[in-house]
Amino acid sequence: MSATGVFDVDSGPRVERTRFGIWLFLASEAMFFAGLLSAFVALKDGSPRFGAADGHLATAQAAIATALLVVSSFTMSRARAAIGRGDTRALIRFLIVTLALGTVFLALQGSEFASLARAEITPRTNLFWSSFFVLTSVHALHVAVGLVWIAVVSIGARGARFSREDHVSVVNVGLYWHFVDVVWIVLFTVLYIV
């Protein structure tokens, strides 16, 4: 694919393999989350012992966390656009903002977990809470992995590792981060709103 293509990176065997690999990985992760969500829906609709949140969900806090994650997707897009222009300084700046937003998201989620623990709500409370903790913890793990990856890319950017012509790692971490954001929007909708 030429530099005017979808990803704005030079085509070549390494880029094509990497692009295929990240899409394959994201597809497998999508199936993983789809399985977890399907189990949640099946339990909710099929078990009289499913239980409920009983007013213990921090919906407003989760909405703020969701907004932060959506904004972080925007800043990641800006990072990607910056290196597409060859602007390494802007790339680093937007990656750092994305890191900060993702870190605050995790802190808010940790705060909710701590609040639930103080209320003596655990995965053993009922099937709703068991599902809630599994879904949100697995997502939090994915966010943490994304933050480490963004930090590594940021360090590479400081070392002039990326250029306008060669920034496939920036593209890949961006795709992963957008995926994590979309998964959270689905989780927020299913767990907190529906």
CA gap 105, 93 in Å, rounded = 19
What CA–CA distances, in Å, run from 181 to 40, 121, 125, 129?
Answer: 20, 26, 28, 22
If we measure between CA atoms, which residue out of 97, 111, 103 comes closest to residue 61? 111
Position 38 scores a pLDDT of: 92
* pLDDT averaged over every residue in the chain: 88
In order of start, what are the domains of the chain with their CATH numbers?
A: 13-193 (1.20.120.80)
Which residue would you say has higher pLDDT here, 2 or 45?
A: 45
Query: Which residue do the tokens 């989780």 mark?
Result: 187
With contact defined as beta carbons under 8 Å apart, do 4 and 160 qualify? Answer: no
- Please give the model's pTM, rounded to 2 decimal places: 0.86
